[in-house]
Amino acid sequence: MARFTVIIAIFALSGCSGLVQSSCRPGLTSLTKAELFFGRSIATSGEVSETDWQRFAAEEITPRFPDGLTVEDAEGQWSGQKGLVRERSKHVVIVYSGNAAAKLEAIRVAYKSRFHQDSVLLVETGACTSF
């Protein structure tokens, strides 16, 4: 019954708009970096397959962030009712400008619904970037 749990950080003002760096050195631009952590264990039926993950990313993530993102395989762990639980995971990094709260939440809701997950961890931080 491995389920991916979430650590929720709530940024109270302006939908996390305070995350953007207020000043970056010359040549860098202030943007926001979102990291999403998707556990792949399904309590009722094994694991999210690579094919299912690719389909999910193509249908839910890429259309919302067509400018680009990074996907990495990861190993996650969390403390569940039966002790320490480890599971394969996907780590997605997206750098964006503006407010993407609705897009990020839609991705999280879709994954939880499609793959019977309790949560998807989201971490947002301000970043100074250069492309």
User: What's 30's domain CATH number?
Assistant: 3.30.70.120
Is position 8 within any domain? no
Question: Over the stretch 46-81, which tens digit does the pLDDT of each residue have?
Answer: 999 999 999 999 999 999 999 999 999 999 998 877
Is position 7 within any domain? no
Is position 1 within any domain? no
Taking the C-alpha atoms of residue 29 and residue 130, their distance in angstroms, rounded to an integer, is: 6
Can you give the pLDDT of all 131 residues of the chain as single tens digits? 333 333 222 232 234 444 555 689 999 999 999 999 999 998 778 999 999 999 999 999 999 999 999 999 999 998 877 788 899 999 999 999 999 999 999 999 999 999 999 899 999 999 999 98
Is position 24 within any domain? yes
Is position 2 within any domain? no
Query: What is this structure's pTM?
Result: 0.81
Question: By CB neighbour count within 10 A (0-12 exposed, 13-18 middle, 19+ buried), where does 84 fall?
Answer: exposed
Is position 61 within any domain? yes
Q: What torsion, rounded to 10 degrees, do the Cα atoms 121, 125, 130, 131 define?
A: 20
Is position 66 within any domain? yes
Counted domains in the chain: 1
Expressed in angstroms, the distance from the first to the final Cα of the chain is 42
For 16: left if phi > 0, alpha if psi spans -120 to 50, otherwise beta; the answer is left
**Containing domain of residue 42, as a range?**
14-129
Is position 29 within any domain? yes
Rg (CA), the chain: 16
